[in-house]
Amino acid sequence: MAALTLPINKVVMLFGRMNPPTPGHINGLCIPLLRIVKDTAMTILEGKLLADMSLESLVYNAGVVPRIFITDTNNGTRIAKLSVVPPPPVFTDADSAKDKAARLKKYQALVRANENKSATMLGPKNLISKYHSGSQKRKKDKDEIPNILIKDPLMENPLTVQQKKYYIVTMIYNSIKGTDLAVSIEVLDKWVTSEQSVFSAIRICLDLVTSPTRCLNDITFVMGREESPVEQASREKFCSPEFGINKNGDILFPGTLNCHFIDRLSIKTTVAHSVPLTGAAEIEGNKDTSETTATSMSGSKVRLLIYNKQYDELYQLYKGLINKQDIDLLIKQVREGLYIPASGGGRRKHKPNKTRSCRRVKYNRRNR
């Protein structure tokens, strides 16, 4: 069928950290987003549909663009930024003494703030390294590590954006294979991208719309519904007509976003932890609290499963979405991103090598 010469009419987006990506992110956000994309495309095309049109053909002909934005921050880049000292100010003869003093004072304040932040924020990495190095294995340190892996901002993003994208694309592809939402890996690779903030992601979506009257009404923002009223209210701010207006009353984004809230999936698992866990945090900085058997499989729980070496649960959790080789790779990459040595971690105990034991027994018998 010849493609209809339609402009880009709508963009359907979601924005999340997904570090690491979980089945909850895929089945609870990404797949529903694709369903919304299809429904939007079918509404636009109306009677111009063919029964055998694929999702790729639908979105192309209807002018609907799906975008799954993931944040591009990770633990390594955040830590690296902490050690960067701002350059000193450069003065010229034209600068007044008052201006020089003000700029110098501001620079000194930045240096002090950077030093204080570095000392505070580098603590988690140093504590984990110190505990696993064997130099100081205090019970207090050991008990503190799970809290850090869950709560500390420096430990929330063990995977790089490239690593996250690989797992997200692979899991979506395996989930929709053979269904009415099926598309190729190459198409998904274009639909999943990265961005620094939710505001820049919305700006990109607005720029994608080709209509001269484009506005926020052309964008559907898919989000997970928060159980906490406070966190839910913070998400609903995106849906307010005032969202696109700054403090001075200037209209930055005309119109109002179409917000589509999705209830969290009920995926239960047993995770050993000592503090409330952070939620899926689809929007950077937003969190919720949850119990041991939680209603959503958040990245924090996966991080803790990996730290505690609860690999059997991980294999079961990701079964059918990625293969065992990819699960093992995910475990390795998360542990590296959390600065956990190969032998470090929690619950699983070392098992002796039975083959070596048997050989030793046989050797001893021969020499009696």
Q: Are residues 124 and 175 in the same domain?
A: no
On whether the CB atoms of residues 323 and 171 are closer than 8 A, the answer is no
Q: Are residues 285 and 138 in the same domain?
A: no
User: pTM for the whole thing?
Assistant: 0.73
pLDDT in tens, 88-146: 777 888 888 888 888 888 888 777 766 665 555 555 566 566 555 554 455 555 666 66
Q: Are residues 239 and 174 in the same domain?
A: yes
Phi-psi region of 281 (alpha: psi -120 to 50; beta: other; left: phi over 0): left
Q: Are residues 145 and 83 in the same domain?
A: yes
Q: Are residues 137 and 192 in the same domain?
A: no
Q: Which of 142, 85, 92, 156 is nearest to 115 (CA)?
A: 85
Q: Are residues 178 and 262 in the same domain?
A: yes
Residues in the chain, pLDDT under 70: 1-6, 47, 49-51, 79-86, 113-151, 265-297, 341-368
List the strands of the sheet with 192-194, edge to edge. 192-194, 64-70, 10-16, 219-224, 258-262
Q: Residue 360: what pLDDT?
A: 46
* Distances, alpha carbon 213 to alpha carbons 7, 16, 210, in Å: 12, 28, 9
Range of the structural domain that residue 101 is part of? 79-151
- How many folded domains does the chain comprise? 2
Q: Residue 345: what pLDDT?
A: 56
DSSP conformational letter for 244: G
Is residue 3 domain-resident? no
Helix (H, G, I), strand (E, B) or coil at 194: strand
Please list the helix, strand and coil fractions of the chain in percent, rounded to the nearest 5, in that order.
50, 10, 40
Q: Which residues contact 230 (CB under 8 A, 6 or more apart)?
A: none
Q: Which of 196, 171, 191 is nearest to 64 (CA)?
A: 191
pLDDT in tens, 334-366: 988 888 766 555 555 545 555 544 444 444 444
